[in-house]
Structure 1
Amino acid sequence: MLLPSADIRHLHLIGICGTAMGALAVLLKERGFRVTGSDNAVYPPMSEVLRDHEIRVAPAYSPDNITPRPDLVVIGNALSRGNEEVEAVLERKIPFVSLPEALREFFIRGSTSIVVTGTHGKTTTSSLLAWILDFAGLQPGFMIGGVPANFGVGARKGSGRFFVSEGDEYDTAFFDKRSKFLHYLPDIVIVNNIEFDHADIFRDIGEIELSFRRLLNIIPRNGLVVANRDDSRVVRLTEHTWPPKVTFSLSGDANWQARNVCGTACGTAFDLVGPFGQVTCELPLFGRHNVSNALAVAAVCAHAGMSLEQIRDGMRSFKGVRRRLEKLYDAHEIVLYDDFAHHPTAITETLRGVKAAHHGSRVWAIFEPRSNTTVRRFFQTELADALAHGDVVRLGALHRNDKIPESERLDIARLVSDLRERGADAESVPDVSRLSEEIASHARAGDVIVVMSNGGFGGLTGLLRDALEKRFGASESAT
């Protein structure tokens, strides 16, 4: 759908306080539209961001919120039939779109669209790519599901020819069950990895592969596919592509390779080897998985005309992403990280990266089973294998366990037992306050604490940071 933007002056966003919806609202406001919205969870920091941009937000869903009638309504993915404001939009025949459609028509169309996909690493890869393009003066627009520290915001309309989108395979809206990334008019697509996830909407890995096939089939012949040769599914799905393809690998036999990878006190060093030469890079991120992400970024940046030296310097100045192994506390040889990991593979890579960076440290793995996949038994064994990379494992409460039939629910007691069999000091501590107190009271010099959740974990990181400061003193540094 090509929206007649000349006739659109007032947009109303239902579910405006979601991270992506709020970012879209700000972008639309910056483009000069009148923007309003509604949500039943109007809390900081998003409420403050919207207020600062003079965007009026109704604190509850109601048909009154769309009087006077807006020109276009954007309905967030958290909304479904039965919501009284959504029902009013349908009854009054007000034009409506999903967030991906709005992003496409108001910001992506007319640009060179770069879509970063994969089960893991999308946010970090998108953030690194947007930053290096910006570092080179290309001023890209972007929409990212996190906050890159170099920018301080998760979205920007940009003034250059590139637009970077974090390409999520999750569905679009209650009225459109296609993957979000199918809306983004892809010119350049990074395919990092493909694993099973989103058990609430995909029945098996075959359905996920089908979404990726559909994405690859809509890239124009003058576009580009950037494919990870270390992932067997990616190799198979990208064997034949309409546009040209470049590959990357940590193990060789690819257009872009990393050699001599080694952990440093501040991240990871490696030799970046590409079709145009070789350069030594210092990436301020831990773990080989982030080196793989960096290879994909290098391939796109070189395609955009950047030199290896520009790519190297951009990597070195990258400041990371909030909630992607974000350091929240560092004092008396005790470090606290906050991380978004929730899939077993991501948990494994995160903990391996931490252990490589903090050699010899006791690592606490604090995990909240929260995603629609990890609250189910699908990853019962895989979660035990992943979390066992921690020395001390503490499990939070199963998120919304009343919504999952008991026969499908992750068995926390069995997970604790399996972790103990693997040698970990494991316990389930559902109460967040008690969990914070236990960690802070038993922490000792040399400990590294990694809190992992794709949600808020009941405010655990804030409670834990306060408890550590009370016992050990203020943090010496946090990045």
Structure 2
Amino acid sequence: MKKYHFIAIGGAVMHNLALALLAKGYQVTGSDDEIYEPSRTRLKDKGILPEGYGWFPEKITKDLDGIILGMHARIDNPELIKARGLGIPVFSFPEFIYNQSRDKKRVVIAGSHGKTSITSIILHVLKDQEVDFDYLVGAQIEGFDLMVRLSDAPIIIIEGDEYLTSPLDRRPKFFHYKHDIALLSGIAWDHFNVFPDFDEYKDQFRQLIELTPESGELIYCEADPLVLEAVEKSNLVGKKSPYKAHLARIEEGKTKLLSPKGEIPIFLFGQHNLQNLQGAKQICESIGLTEDQFYDSIRSFKGAAKRLELIKSKNDRALYRDFAHAPSKLKATAKAVKEQFPDRKLIAVQELHTYSSLNKEFLPNYAGTMDSADVAIIYLNPHAVALKKLELMDEETLRNGFERPDLKLFTDSHALKSYLNSLNYSNSNLLLMSSGNYDNMDLEEIKAKFD
């Protein structure tokens, strides 16, 4: 039985990988200095929740087959130091995923936005069509217990992001997967703390493109000018397959695909999601599914968690939640809701939570991103700002940055909750966007307004 130890086991992908290896019959241990829900309960239920928080070098023993190192760990982590001293192999999770899938066809979904949605669509269609496959995805998806599966399947679908691999490896994760097929959905500046120079950020995607083997394929969104630029600047030797948004029409708040099979009703909506859907369709066809199989399965796809997720609705109103935080995601999400329901007032709330979004120097990238909203609200958590050692921006600064003179700023979640509870949602949609949780704001009273 193989035995692996996870340093920083509590992360979203890390704890899912730990559970996947446990399901594969491996012995798994781990450590972390903080573990939040749902990771904590899921690890506890399987008997691998660390007994205490912190780092314990005594857990690192010579009989380990390897260490899996999370990005949350520091380079001076005492467990890592001991493991390296003992000569135990240390893998980042991207390296480990490649190590476990080197004999499979590897499909990598990349881009500044849309990765999780595209990967989720592909996973749903493959499962619905009873295809045997492995996967790594960045969100919980309906019908899948884990975000990771590793088995003897001949193919793996990987959501590959451009963020740093580990404390020991400052390269993007997606370099490690050595794809056979890659999809590039879009390029829009993100991760300002890691890539303060936009040209450097864009160059990571050019390098990814050039990793496509001669026998491989790059599927890319030709509607994105920066993707086109990256493809044109690259020395790509594999097959090039462009895509753009699937044709569709909106009728009474419902989207219907226009296909050779006629009109197909779907749960997804928004131009960005029609691009995501078309990219997923071309991946599915590239790995052997037919167009008819894709159309048969896409009808039942309801979306990934926190990706334009419908929380509550009734006749004249709806409450949506989305992970949007980067400028391109915020703009596309707000625009999608407004275009789907043009006659309803759109109340959009954005929590600025990431280092990039809280950085005053990055703020100009948000200009115009809330233009689709009738009411534009920003929430900032002063504690989160302080932890990142940044300046707390005031309302005037944000209004100038977003180019919205009527923008409202809240820095207290209780005040925000009171304001949202005071609103009349008749003929309105409320869109909550954040990669955080509004400082654990309780949404039950707000949800009740949509019953």
TM-score by structure 2 length?
0.92
Q: Please state whether the residue corresponding to 2:373 is helix, strand or coil.
A: coil
Structure 2 residue aligned with 1:322 = 305
Q: In structure 2, what residue type is equivalent to 1:402?
A: A
Structure 2 match to 1:82: 76
Structure 2: give runs of 5+ residues left out of the alignment.
Answer: none
Match of 1:253 in 2: none
**Does 2:256 align with 1:269?**
yes
Does the 8 Å CA contact 2:8/2:70 hold for their aligned counterparts? yes
1:255 corresponding residue in structure 2: none
Q: How far has the Cα of 1:209 moved from its partner?
A: 2.6
Partner of 1:11: 4
Q: 91, 105, 113: which is aligned to 1:97? A: 91
Match of 1:362 among 345, 362, 382: 345
Aligned pairs (5 A) from 1:151-170: 151-157=144-150, 160-170=153-163
Give the superposition deviation at 1:448.
1.3
Please give the alpha-carbon distance, in whole angstroms, between the structure 2 residues aligned to 1:48 and 1:265: 41
**RMSD of the TM alignment (CA)?**
2.4
Deviation at 1:180, TM superposition (A): 0.1
The farther-off stretch of 171-180 and 327-336 is: 327-336
Instruction: Tell me the equivalent position of 2:239.
Output: 244
| Residue in structure 2 matching 1:401, options 374, 385, 390 | 385
Give yes or no for contact 1:150–1:319 (8 Å, CA) kept in 2.
no
Is the contact between residue 271 and residue 280 of structure 1 (CA under 8 Å) also seen in structure 2?
A: yes
Question: Residue 113 of structure 2 is aligned with which of 120, 123, 128?
Answer: 120
Separation in 1, partners of 2:363, 2:59:
45
- Offset of 1:160 from its aligned partner? 3.4
CA distance in 2, matches of 1:86, 1:157: 25
Q: 1:36 to 1:440 in 2, by over 3 A?
A: same
Change in CA separation of 1:421 and 1:62 when aligned onto 2, cut-off 3 Å: closer
In 2 relative to 1, CA 440–331 (structure 1 residues): closer, same or farther, beyond 3 Å? farther
Counterpart of 2:395 in structure 1 is 413
> Which whole-Å CA distance do the structure 1 matches of 2:285 and 2:75 have between them?
46
2:249 touches 2:256 (CA, 8 Å); kept in 1?
Answer: yes
Show the counterpart of 1:41.
Answer: 34
Structure 1: which amino acid aligns with 2:250?
G
Contact 1:168 1:179 in 2 (8 A): yes
Taking the aligned partners of 2:66 and 2:252, their CA distance within structure 1 comes to 50
AA matched with 1:54 = G
Does 1:456 find its partner at 2:440? no
Deviation string 1:424-461 (CA, Å, 9 cap, x unpaired) is 4x32111112211210122322221111111222123x
Name the residue aligned to 2:445. 467
**Equivalent pair of 1:344/1:379 in contact (CA under 8 Å):** no
Structure 1 residues 189 and 67: alpha-carbon distance in aligned structure 2, compared to 1, 3 A threshold: closer
Structure 2 partner of 1:26: 19
Going from structure 1 to structure 2, the CA distance change for 1:412 and 1:52 (only over 3 Å counts) comes to same
Q: Which residue of 1 aligns with 2:133?
A: 140
* Secondary structure, aligned partner of 1:230: coil
| Closer/same/farther in 2, CA of residues 363 and 219 from structure 1, 3 Å limit | same
Q: Which moved more, 1:240-249 or 1:83-92?
A: 83-92
For 1:322, the aligned partner's letter is A
TM-score by length of 1: 0.87
Q: Say whether the 8 Å CA contact 1:380–1:411 is kept in structure 2.
A: no
Q: 2:66 aligns with which of 62, 65, 72?
A: 72
- Asked if structure 2 preserves the Cα contact closer than 8 Å seen for 1:61 and 1:85, the reply is no
1:389 Cα deviation (Å)? 2.1
Deviation at 1:366, TM superposition (A): 1.1
* Contact preservation (8 Å) 2:108, 2:160: yes
Q: Deviations over 1:1-53 (max 9, x none)?
A: xxxxxxx7211111111100011101111111100111222232111212233
Q: Deviation per CA, 1:326-369, whole angstroms, max 9, x where unpaired?
A: 12222474422111001111111101111122222221111111
Provide the C-alpha distance between the structure 1 equivalents of 2:47 and 2:386, rounded to a whole number of angstroms.
Answer: 38
Q: 1:210 aligns with which of 178, 203, 206?
A: 203
SS in 1 for 2:281: helix
Q: Contact (CA 8 Å) 2:33, 2:55: kept in 1 or not?
A: no
Aligned-partner Cα distance in 2 for 1:292–1:93: 46
Is 1:196 equivalent to 2:189 in the alignment?
A: yes
Look up the equivalent residue of 2:296 and give its one-letter code: D
- Give the match for residue 3 of structure 1: none
- Distance in 2 (alpha carbons) for counterparts of 1:203 and 1:469: 39
Answer yes or no: is the 8 Å Cα contact 2:369–2:402 preserved in 1: no
> Which deviates the most, 28-37 or 426-435?
426-435
The SS at the match of 1:395 is strand
Find out whether 1:436 has 2:417 as its counterpart. yes
Identity level (%): 26
Partners of 2:402 and 2:211 lie apart in 1 by: 48
Q: Does 1:296 align with 2:279?
A: yes
Is the 1:142–1:158 contact (alpha carbons within 8 Å) kept by the matching residues of 2? Answer: no
CA distance in 1, matches of 2:308, 2:216: 33
Tell me the CA shift for residue 216 of structure 1: 2.0
Preserved contact between residue 364 and residue 402 of structure 2 (Cα < 8 Å): no
